Amino acid sequence: MSGFRNDNRWHERDLMVATQIEARGIRSPTVLAAMREVPRHLFVPPGLQKDAYCDYPLPIGEGQTISQPFIVAAMVEALMLQPTHRVLEIGTGSGYQTAVLALLAQEVYSIERISRLAARAASTLASLGFLVEESLAEHASAPAHQLSGSEGNTHTDFLNRSGHIHLLVGDGYLGWPEHAPFDAIIMSAAPPEIPRVLYEQLAPGGRLVGPVGRFGSQILLRLIRTPEGPDFEALMDVAFVPMVRGVE
């Protein structure tokens, strides 16, 4: 990957990856490269951009956060993505993790229940040159539309070397059945337990990674869909916002 090596915050991303991510055990060369590529400061509010490459989550509005860089890298690495994979992301948030996924997979289907966050993420991703297609939940009144990374963008660097991003304003508990099955599913918010419907949208051999449990007692799990049923692996203790039903 080439990317934003000439922008004035490249060195901060490089230091972030070296000290917060690689030093803590992330080994996937493609994940490390993607984390160096995506300009995290563009996905946080302007007043917090000075803290964008620090090792902690940051608020992004609407009561939501952008996860700390290490957690994003650890979750994405656990998916074991291949360039041909189709990924479902539950919780677009700022769109930062969506961008990382799009550099590693062929298609990223991302669901966000808060329409204002979804619109902001779509705008940021398109401005960076990602090809973004927005959809709306069936009960929403506005028409679906597309954002092309080649129109009105501030960068075009990612346009021809990233996967297609599909954004849906919808309920993550329902998944995106029209486009299932998925090779991988990643949850950016914590349900009390993994929703059965998401498991059923996994392809055979597919992996689901996400936090599970109540706040204060959450664990990051990796689930693999096997012929014998779900195979669970506990990865680490985490603290995520709760996964909420419905759409705002």
Enzyme catalytic residues = 67
Block residue for tokens 């808060």: 114
Q: Which two three-digit tokens encode residue 63? A: 């009561």
- Mapping DSSP onto H, E and C, the string for 7-60 reads CCCHHHHHHHHHHHHHHHCCCCHHHHHHHHHCCHHHHCCHHHHHHCCCCCCEEE
- Identity of residue 10: W
Q: Is 145 within 8 Å of 132 (Cβ atoms)?
A: no
Nearest residue to 121 via CA among 188, 167, 157: 167
Exposed (0-12), middle (13-18) or buried (19+): which is 96, by Cβ within 10 Å? Answer: buried
Residues 120, 131: Cα–Cα separation, whole Å: 15
Exposed (0-12), middle (13-18) or buried (19+): which is 142, by Cβ within 10 Å? Answer: exposed
> In sequence order, what are the residues at sequence separation of 6 or more whose Cβ sits closer than 8 angstroms to the Cβ of residue 196?
none
Residues 48, 42: Cα–Cα separation, whole Å: 10
